[in-house]
Structure formats: structure tokens, C-alpha cells
Amino acid sequence: MPNLRALAHVWRSVRALPEFRRLLELRAVSQFGDGLFNAGLAGAILFNPEREAAPWAIAGAFAVLFLPYSLLGPFAGALLDRWDRRLVLIGANTGRLALILCVAALLSAGVGDLPILLGALIVNGFTRFVSSGISATLPHLVPREQVVAMNAVSVATGAAAAFFGAFFMLVPRYLFGADDTGGAAVIFLVSAPVAIALWLSVRFPAGMLGPDASARAVHGSVAYAVATGWVHGARTVVAVPTVAATLSGLAAHRMVFGLNTLLVLVLVRHVEAASVAGLGTTALFVAAAGTGSFLATAITPAAVQRWGRYTTPNAALAFAAVVQLCGVGLQLPVMVVCGFLLGAAGQVVKLCADTAMQVDVDDALRGHVFTVQDALFWIAFIAAIAAAAAVVPADGHAPAIALAGSGIYLAGLAAHATVGRRATPRG
């Protein structure tokens, strides 16, 4: 009953914030499309009987998809703090819609992996611009005392939508096949939720989403703001201990998630020769991690209220280090369970990082910092996958890589505990 009362209270809070509810709808359809797109692309390239994917090919695919924007994103992130964020969301969703149709056309034509991945790179760049814009916007639509709870609701909604989008991909894949034509059909379907996200972006009144005028705003031309985006974003991260600490822990989690992802992909391709079986096992691992992340959003606000924003991530990282040790045997069922628990622990750290950026960073620099977080998020993931791909055997049996993940979590814990000690806000 207490849980039901808590859920009812959250629902009443969301209903009392109509503009936040509209932002929630935008996040849901946007991330449903993101989940459908990335799952469809993975099925079309990594689990396509017409294409092959060795460990280095898997690492290369992730690098092409996520690394370029991760390096350039903090420059572009300056635009979130310079222009009306409503217009940025409209422009990003428009570009995203056009590029999705291009990627689908490339797949249907049966072209090589590289042009498809380059097109998908730009799609993901627009998608992450939308995601950073939504996160930077949230404090404009929510009272300060409700930021932690409503951010948890927003993240949970987005995670659930991405999860359903990824699993919905299995329906058109079953109907249209696992070859290039089937992959193109899946990607064409992504245009529907993205078009809805564009329509929802247009519905916001001009100026409602920020940015606010502030003495800390970056002045000068747009070109100057973009050129110095990385500098202002990184400087702000270093200057705010709560942000620097949680991003250190988050980077550690993403590195371990990268290691585990490559291990699972190589293992299933070696053990389960049928591409459909391999895709199903991989989807189960991703679903377990996503479910853990979703459940973590329900417990994090209460944990933060009880133990504070310093102790809660410390406990999550210590717990993750122990859980990672349990997966050293590289048994797929055990790794799925570990994925669930690590997904929950990582999401606790992620929510604390989001809250630090939304509460402790001036609105004039919030877009900069969210894009730096996004860059760190993916650079850590790709670096770990590339390092693992260099040493993983063909059958994927590399317990030392899983053991290294536990050490990375401990390093992240040490960094968070040391940096975060400079500022230990509660609630």
C-alpha cells in the first residue's frame, strides 16, 4: 500500500505540471523511436545473415556511430544555451526525420556498412541533441524541490519507451525478414514516432524552455560560443564538485557496460550460430539492464532523500564492483542477472549526475554540461569496447576482462568519494 500511495502521489504531481507532462510525452516518443532505430540497425548489421561482424567490426560499428558526435557534441551543445531550446528541438527532430528516411533507403539498396553507419551517426547526433535539450529544459517546468523526483519520472519514462521500441523491432523483423529489406522496413517505421516528436516540439510556446538570461551566459558570436563549447562545459564540470564526482562514477559504469556488451555479443555469436537466437539473447541482456535501470528510478529519490547525493552513488558503485565479480565465469544466464543489477546501480549514479547538473549548474551553462556528460558517456563506452576487442578471443571467453570491470568500478568509487567529499549536499 505505501508503494501504491507513493505512485499515486507521483501521478498527481505529474498531472499538476501540464508543461512537464508534455515534455514527458516528447521524451517518450523520442526514445521509443531511438530504441527502435538502434535495435533495427543492430539487427540489420550485427545479426544479418548477409553481413559479418567480428569483434573489431563490432567495436568499429560502435565507434563510427557514437564517437564523432561525442567529440563534437559539446561544441554544438553551446547552441542549447544560446538559442531558444524549442527551436533547437524542432530543428533537431526535423533533421533526424530526414536522415532516418535516407538510412532506410541505403539499407533497402543493399549498400555497404560504412555509408549506413555514417548516416546513422548523424541520426544519433540529432537524437542526442534532443535528449540533452530535454534534460536541460526540465528545471524550467518543475519546481526546484521536485527536480529529483520528476527527473526520475522522466528518465524512467524514457528508459521504458526505449525498451519497448527496441523490442517492438522484433515484430517487423519477424514479418519482413532479417535481411537488408527487412532492416530497411524497420528503419522506415522509425519515422512515425520521430514525426510525433517533431509535432510535440512545435506545441511548446516560444521561450518557455529557456535558456534564461544570466550573467554567466557565454557572450560573443554564435561561432565563438560553439568554438569554446568544450572549454566552457569542461570548466563548469571541474568547478562543480557534485558534477565532477558523479560523472567520474558514471564514466566507470559506462566502461564496464562496454566491456560486458562486447563479451555478450562475441559469446552469443560463437555459441548460438543462428542469428535470430543470438539477437534474442543479446536483446535479453539489454532488456535486463534496461529493467534494472527502470526500477532504479523508483528507488533513487527515496535513497537520495535518506542518504544524500554523496553516499548514494558511493554505495551504488561499491555494490556494482561486487556484482561484476559474480560474472567472471561468463555464463550467459549469470551475465543477464548481473546486467540487471548493474543496470540498476548505474542508473542510480546517472540520476544523481543529472540532478547535480539540473540543480547545481547555472541554466546559462546547463546545455554545455549535459553535452559534456553525453560525450563522456559514449567515449568511455567506446574506449572500453575497443580495448576489449584488442584482446578478446574468438569464442569470447575472457574472464580477465570481466575481472577488470570490477577494478574499474572500484576506481570510479575512489574518484567519486574523493572529489565528491568537497561538496556533500543532501536531498
Distance, in Å, from the CA atom of 258 to the CA atom of 383, rounded to the nearest integer, reads: 8
Does this model's pTM top 0.95? My answer is no
Distance, in Å, from the CA atom of 294 to the CA atom of 396, rounded to the nearest integer, reads: 28
DSSP conformation class of 328: T
82 to each of 7, 52, 207, 217, how far by Cα in Å?
37, 44, 12, 8
First to last CA, the chain: 24
CATH number for 15-210+221-420 (one of 3.40.50.9100, 3.20.20.80, 1.10.150.120, 1.20.1250.20): it is: 1.20.1250.20
Distance, in Å, from the CA atom of 297 to the CA atom of 313, rounded to the nearest integer, reads: 13
Q: What is the CA radius of gyration of the chain?
A: 21
Distance, in Å, from the CA atom of 69 to the CA atom of 79, rounded to the nearest integer, reads: 15
Of 381, 238, 410, which Cα lies nearest the Cα of 314? Answer: 410
Query: For the chain, what is the total number of helices (H) and then of strands (E)?
Result: 15, 0
Locate the domains of the chain by residue range: 15-210+221-420
> What angle, rounded to 10 degrees, do the helices at 85-108 and 180-203 form?
170
Q: What is the pLDDT along the chain (427 residues), one digit of tens a residue?
A: 445 565 666 777 788 888 899 999 999 999 999 989 988 887 777 665 555 556 666 677 777 767 766 776 666 666 777 788 899 899 999 999 999 999 999 988 878 777 888 888 888 888 877 888 888 888 888 887 788 788 888 888 888 888 888 888 888 887 887 777 888 889 999 999 999 999 999 999 888 887 866 545 555 555 555 556 677 778 889 899 999 999 999 999 999 999 998 888 888 766 554 444 455 667 677 778 878 888 888 888 889 888 988 999 999 999 999 999 998 888 888 888 999 999 999 999 999 999 898 888 887 778 778 878 888 888 899 899 888 888 888 777 889 999 999 999 999 999 999 998 876 544 4
What single string gives the DSSP state of each residue in 230-284? HHHHHHHHHH-HHHHHHHHHHHHHHHHHHHHHHHHHHHHHHH--SHHHHHHHHHH
Distance, in Å, from the CA atom of 323 to the CA atom of 341, rounded to the nearest integer, reads: 7
Whether residue 211 has a cis bond before it, omega within 30° of 0: yes
